[in-house]
């Protein structure tokens, strides 16, 4: 199975391609606010170097949130455009589940990424299975059990914290393992999970 995977839920912009179920190439950067510039370039480069054309793909996997409002919109918009143009299914992958893919701990723990101010998008996992719904809470509420996350190291006070990074690699691996369960032919029905509303605040002078 050939899958193109996109991860844009945080400041990390990551693109990977899987050929015959195996990771063939990955390109990623954590430069801030460059998703709209880098993502199309990464996709074009990685397809040209790995496939004859985009039509050789079996689907496009994309990080579906929660995460950065802008990042999710950019990733989902590009995924939908490519899928629509090439009549490919989209495989939406929950962002926090993709982070859990890296974790071997079997006891209960949090997986979290920074939202804004002192808030995080988070979910509990137990034995690599969701043990709560994703939600947005204060970092101070991440207590009592281990925390794995990204973008929160300077805010979190618990010593039982391990930093992990989002990557298109994990998006692609889940997409391959759960292709028939998660693939969506109706592109218009796929939307990011934002959890919180997008607000723009202006500094008062």
Token pair for residue 113? 């990424």
Token pair for residue 125? 């996992």
pLDDT of 12-34, one tens digit each? Answer: 999 999 999 999 999 999 988 89
pLDDT of 95-106, one tens digit each? Answer: 999 999 999 999
Please state the pTM of the whole predicted model: 0.93
Query: What is the C-alpha separation between 162 and 149, in angstroms, rounded?
Result: 7
DSSP letter at 18 equals E
pLDDT of residue 205: 40
* Closest by Cα among 27, 6, 11 to 82: 6
pLDDT of residue 196: 81
pLDDT of residue 86: 95
- Residue that the structure tokens 């509303």 belong to: 197
pLDDT of residue 201: 43
pLDDT band per the 50, 70, 90 thresholds, residue 52: confident
pLDDT band per the 50, 70, 90 thresholds, residue 197: low
- Is pLDDT larger for residue 152 or for residue 52? 152
Instruction: Give the CA distances from residue 191 to residues 79, 85, 126, in Å, rounded to whole numbers and listed in that order.
Output: 11, 18, 27
* Closest by Cα among 89, 15, 79 to 58: 89
pLDDT of 72-93, one tens digit each? Answer: 999 999 999 999 999 999 999 9
Query: What is the C-alpha separation between 158 and 50, in angstroms, rounded?
Result: 43
- 3-state secondary structure (DSSP) of residue 155: coil
Which runs of consecutive H residues, i.e. helices, occur in the chain?
A: 35-50, 69-86, 95-100, 168-177, 179-182
Give the angle 22-177-18 at the CA atoms, nearest 5°.
25
pLDDT of residue 200: 43
Q: Which residues contact 129 (CB under 8 A, 6 or more apart)?
A: none
Query: What is the C-alpha separation between 111 and 150, in angstroms, rounded?
Result: 9
Mean pLDDT of the chain: 93
Domains and CATH numbers, the chain: 3-94+167-189 (3.30.420.40), 103-163 (3.30.420)
Q: Helix, strand, coil % (nearest 5) of the chain?
A: 30, 30, 40
pLDDT of 110-165, one tens digit each? Answer: 999 999 999 999 999 999 999 999 999 999 999 889 999 999 999 988 889 999 99
| Region 186-192 average pLDDT | 95
């Amino acid at each position: 199975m050939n899958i193109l995977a996109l991860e844009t839920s945080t400041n990390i912009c990551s693109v990977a391609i899987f050929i015959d179920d195996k990771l063939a190439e990955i390109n990623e950067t954590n430069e801030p606010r460059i998703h709209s510039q880098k993502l199309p370039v990464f996709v074009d480069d990685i397809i040209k170097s790995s496939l004859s054309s985009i039509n050789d793909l079996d689907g496009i996997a994309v990080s579906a949130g929660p995460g950065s409002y802008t990042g999710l919109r950019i990733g989902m918009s590009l995924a939908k455009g490519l899928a629509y143009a090439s009549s490919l299914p989209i495989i939406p992958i929950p962002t926090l589940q993709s982070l859990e893919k890296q974790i071997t701990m079997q006891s209960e723990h949090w997986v979290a990424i920074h939202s804004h101010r002192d808030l995080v998008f988070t979910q509990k996992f137990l034995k690599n299975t969701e043990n709560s719904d994703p939600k947005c809470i204060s970092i101070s509420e991440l207590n009592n059990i281990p925390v794995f996350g990204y973008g929160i190291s300077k805010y979190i006070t618990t010593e039982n914290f391990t930093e992990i990074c989002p990557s298109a690699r994990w998006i692609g691996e889940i997409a391959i393992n759960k292709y028939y369960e998660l693939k969506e032919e109706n592109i218009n029905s796929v939307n990011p999970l934002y959890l919180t509303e997008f607000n723009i605040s202006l500094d008062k002078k």
